Amino acid sequence: MKRVPHPIPYQGSKRNISGTILSFFPHRFDTLVEPFAGSAAVSLATASHGKSHRFHINDLNKPLMDLWNEIITNPSGISDGYETLWNEQKGREKEFYFIVRDKFNSTGRPDYFLYLLARCVKASIRYNSKGEFNQSPDNRRKGRHPDKMRSDIFVVSYLLRGRTIITHDDYKNILKKVSKTDLVYMDPPYQGVCTGRDPRYYNGIDFDDFLSQIEKLARRRISFILSYDGRKEGKTYGKEIPTDIDIQRMEVNAGRSTQSTLLGRNEITYESIYLSGDLVKRLNMPPDKILSKVIPYRGTKQMALPLNRD
């Protein structure tokens, strides 16, 4: 698979399984819609492989979408901003991170945010109860070199400029507007980090609410792909989607998680991928071809091969 640019470091990015996700795309669709875009790994892989020419990326996190807007429409400005900060930090990296963090919390500026994401622990966004970014720096990392950052930013801008809608809305409002000719890829926050807190802090979606949303999508015959739960060997995270919704579940070997590697463990993570019933029909692939792309799920439910639902 060719190298896909990835300018925004982001915990939970689907970069490592985007190839498998793309292999479930139908031949033709209008717009790829990502209501929980984050670092938009799937949109970037899609654009890099020329599998769609229209995109809608959305995330509730406004500063993140402001950063996306800068990357796509002002690549040289945001690259310069990042480079300036990166150079200014030299020799006082720790102290400088906290200065930028304060400035970001009072201004929301995209170049500050990119710098913080490049330097913070596990590229993981954390907010306090006041909605302020409060993640600490990873003092072993200086952040990606500005030349590499600039080169990825320019490729992304080339791929997405003029063909991408950028919004910062609640996912439900985005789903209301999708049509049968679109393809929706959803990667909501893991339920482990999803405590139903104030949505301004970007970590809350309610499970039952979400179920009713995907039920509606399935009834409207929208084609969608959903990443929702998964497991590390022996440990499941997230609730499964009930079997009465018209979707098919499969598992993908997503390799070793960064955390396991850091802790010297060898645990493999398996991510679930759900395909909407309508998408399965559109794919019109024999079951063995679908399953050859993934490890079939061997849980207690849905032992049957996909594609045999009406």
Ligand X SMILES: C[S@@+](CC[C@H](N)C(=O)[O-])C[C@H]1O[C@@H](n2cnc3c(N)ncnc32)[C@H](O)[C@@H]1O
Which residues lie near ligand X (CB under 6 A)? 10, 12-14, 35-36, 38-39, 41, 59-61, 170-171, 187-189, 199, 202, 205
Question: What one-character-per-residue DSSP string does the chain give?
Answer: -------S--TT--GGGHHHHHTT--S--S-EEETT-TT-HHHHHHHHTTS-S-EEEE-S-HHHHHHHHHHHH-HHHHHHHHHHHHHHTTT-HHHHHHHHHHHHHHH--HHHHHHHHHHBGGG---B-TTS-B-PPB-TT---S-HHHHHHHHHHHHHHHTTSEEEE---HHHHHHH--TTSEEEE-PPPGGG-----GGGS----HHHHHHHHHHHHHTT-EEEEEEEEEETTEEESPPPPTTSSEEEEEEEEEE-HHHHHTT--PEEEEEEEEEHHHHHHH---HHHHHHTSBPP-SSS--SPTT---
Closest to ligand X by CB, 38 or 75: 38
CB of 212 to ligand X, least distance (A): 14
Closest to ligand X by CB, 38 or 143: 38
Closest to ligand X by CB, 96 or 133: 133
Residue 157 one-letter amino acid? S
CB of 38 to ligand X, least distance (A): 3
Which residue is closest to ligand X by CB? 38
For 40-176, list the strands marked E by DSSP.
55-58, 164-167
CB of 309 to ligand X, least distance (A): 27
The runs of H, that is alpha helices, within 220-275 are: 258-262
CB of 194 to ligand X, least distance (A): 8
Closest to ligand X by CB, 193 or 245: 193
CB of 24 to ligand X, least distance (A): 15
Closest to ligand X by CB, 196 or 286: 196
CB of 116 to ligand X, least distance (A): 15
Closest to ligand X by CB, 73 or 191: 191
CB of 304 to ligand X, least distance (A): 28
Closest to ligand X by CB, 21 or 307: 21
